[in-house]
């Protein structure tokens, strides 16, 4: 799902990566909110609060919301920068680096929470927003801007537009493609919601607290190497069948 790029990429590949990453984003969103009471997968609300503080001349107070926004932006920048820098290297899956960095951030936050009491909640918010900026950038690039997984505002907008187009078959004759796109949007929304439910359960009921982020990191790593593992399993199976014959 990560390895296929450009013209070789299909709806199935986009659907697979959308399901996995929206589920991860749902876990991060709820875990971040329950632990530090801040939204950590998008910056829309933070931008509004930043403008509010600036309008009321509370510049110092508004700085923290600016840092939230900048963290997401810098994550997006770094992810794209790494992808562009290593794109020429055909042996390297260029999406490995930003994904590994995201996993390291999630695991680091979880491990730190086990050995010390987290006093600087704003730092945690910045780290999680940075990680989500990384994710949103590389999933946007790998899917050619078809998939976005860290926030739902644009998704609901696109879904509403596409559902309305179903009522006008003459204007939008490519029904198969339209229905596939709607399926993709609904999948992202449902798995973001599902990730939130799982994150909430693990954080509160299972009492994993910030260790819930480790589960998100494990899911990311499995999905990252899914194609390689699958390919190796197929090779092993073929060798076994050849020996059997």
92 in the Ramachandran plot: left (φ > 0), alpha (ψ -120 to 50) or beta?
Answer: beta
Those residues with Cβ within 8 angstroms of residue 29's Cβ, 6 or more apart along the chain or in another chain:
39, 40, 41, 150, 192, 195, 196, 199
pTM: 0.88
| Weakest mean pLDDT among 48-57, 72-81, 163-172 | 48-57
**Which of 169, 208, 159 is closest to 30 using CA atoms?**
208
Burial class (CB in 10 A: 0-12, 13-18, 19+), 194: middle
Whether 234 has a pLDDT exceeding 80, the answer reads no
pLDDT digits (tens, 9 = 90+) for 89-101: 766 677 888 999 9
Instruction: Phi first, then psi: give them for residue 36, nearest 5 degrees.
Output: -125, 0
How far is residue 46's CA from residue 52's CA, in Å, rounded to a whole number? Answer: 10
The 10s digit of each residue's pLDDT in 175-214 is 888 999 999 999 999 999 999 999 999 999 999 999 999 9
């Amino acid at each position: 799902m990560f390895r296929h790029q450009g013209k070789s990429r299909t709806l199935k590949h986009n659907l697979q990566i959308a399901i996995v990453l929206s589920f991860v984003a749902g876990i991060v969103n709820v875990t971040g909110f329950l632990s530090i009471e801040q939204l950590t997968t998008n910056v829309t609300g933070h931008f509004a609060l930043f403008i509010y503080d600036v309008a009321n001349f509370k510049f110092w107070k508004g700085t923290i919301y600016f840092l939230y926004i900048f963290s997401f932006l810098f994550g997006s920048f770094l992810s794209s920068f790494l992808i562009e820098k290593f794109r020429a290297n055909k042996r390297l899956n260029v999406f490995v680096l930003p994904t590994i960095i995201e996993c390291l951030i999630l695991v680091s936050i979880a491990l730190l929470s086990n050995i010390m009491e987290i006093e600087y909640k704003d730092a945690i918010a910045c780290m999680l927003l940075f990680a989500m900026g990384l994710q949103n950038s590389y999933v946007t690039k790998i899917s050619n801007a078809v998939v976005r997984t860290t926030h739902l505002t644009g998704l609901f907008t696109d879904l509403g537009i596409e559902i309305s187009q179903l009522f006008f078959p003459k204007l939008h004759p490519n029904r198969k493609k339209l229905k596939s796109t709607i399926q993709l949007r609904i999948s992202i929304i449902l798995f973001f919601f599902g990730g939130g439910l799982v994150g909430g359960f693990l954080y509160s009921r299972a009492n994993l607290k910030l260790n819930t982020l480790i589960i998100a990191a494990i899911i990311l790593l499995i999905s990252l190497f899914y194609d390689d593992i699958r390919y190796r399993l197929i090779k092993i199976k073929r060798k076994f069948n050849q020996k059997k014959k």
